[in-house]
């Protein structure tokens, strides 16, 4: 199985990062078009991007302000049965070190490579959103 990794620092407190990666409001500001779900272990999320990308995931790991992992339950075939998650480490009161992963890809396919590139861009948008308040319109995200 293959894994995508991205590590980076965001210059805001860990609690702000966790809210942006675990709540529908936060996710909508940098990733999804429309998201529904409640942060918590075993909770279900609807990750809606477009009619043909109306996906679902379950929270498989959850430690408030430290870890969240989503297990994909309904998505395009290559995303099943992958999991993606965030591990947050407090650098100091105003800096958060993030370890992002997207694991259990069956192979290094074209979709794996596209997803890795897209995650890098989206995580940069997460950083811009939290540090500068910039919300990239959904149509301009990739």
Write the pLDDT tens digit of every residue in 6-59: 999 999 999 999 999 999 999 999 999 999 999 999 999 999 999 999 999 999
Strand pairing partners for 34?
Answer: 48
Q: How many Å apart are CA 142 and CA 110, to the nearest integer?
A: 15
Q: How many CA atoms lie within 13 A of 91 on its CB side?
A: 13
Architecture of the CATH domain 2-140: 2-Layer Sandwich (3.30)
Q: Please report, for the chain, the start and end positions of each structural domain, with discontinuous segments joined by +.
A: 2-140
Question: What percent of the chain lies above the pLDDT cut of 70?
Answer: 99
Q: What is the pTM of this model?
A: 0.95
């Amino acid at each position: 199985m293959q894994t995508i990794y991205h590590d980076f620092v965001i210059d805001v407190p860990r609690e702000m990062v966790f809210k942006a990666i675990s709540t529908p409001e936060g996710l909508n500001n940098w990733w999804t078009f429309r998201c529904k779900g409640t942060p918590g272990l075993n909770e279900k999320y609807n990750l809606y991007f477009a009619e043909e990308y109306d996906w679902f995931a379950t929270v498989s790991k959850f430690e408030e302000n430290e870890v969240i992992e989503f297990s994909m339950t309904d998505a395009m075939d290559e995303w099943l049965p992958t999991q993606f998650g965030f591990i947050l480490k407090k650098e100091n009161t105003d800096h958060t070190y993030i370890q992002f992963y997207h694991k259990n890809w069956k192979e290094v396919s074209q979709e794996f490579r596209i997803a890795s590139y897209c995650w890098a861009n989206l995580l940069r948008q997460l950083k811009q959103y939290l540090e500068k308040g910039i919300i990239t319109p959904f149509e301009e995200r990739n």
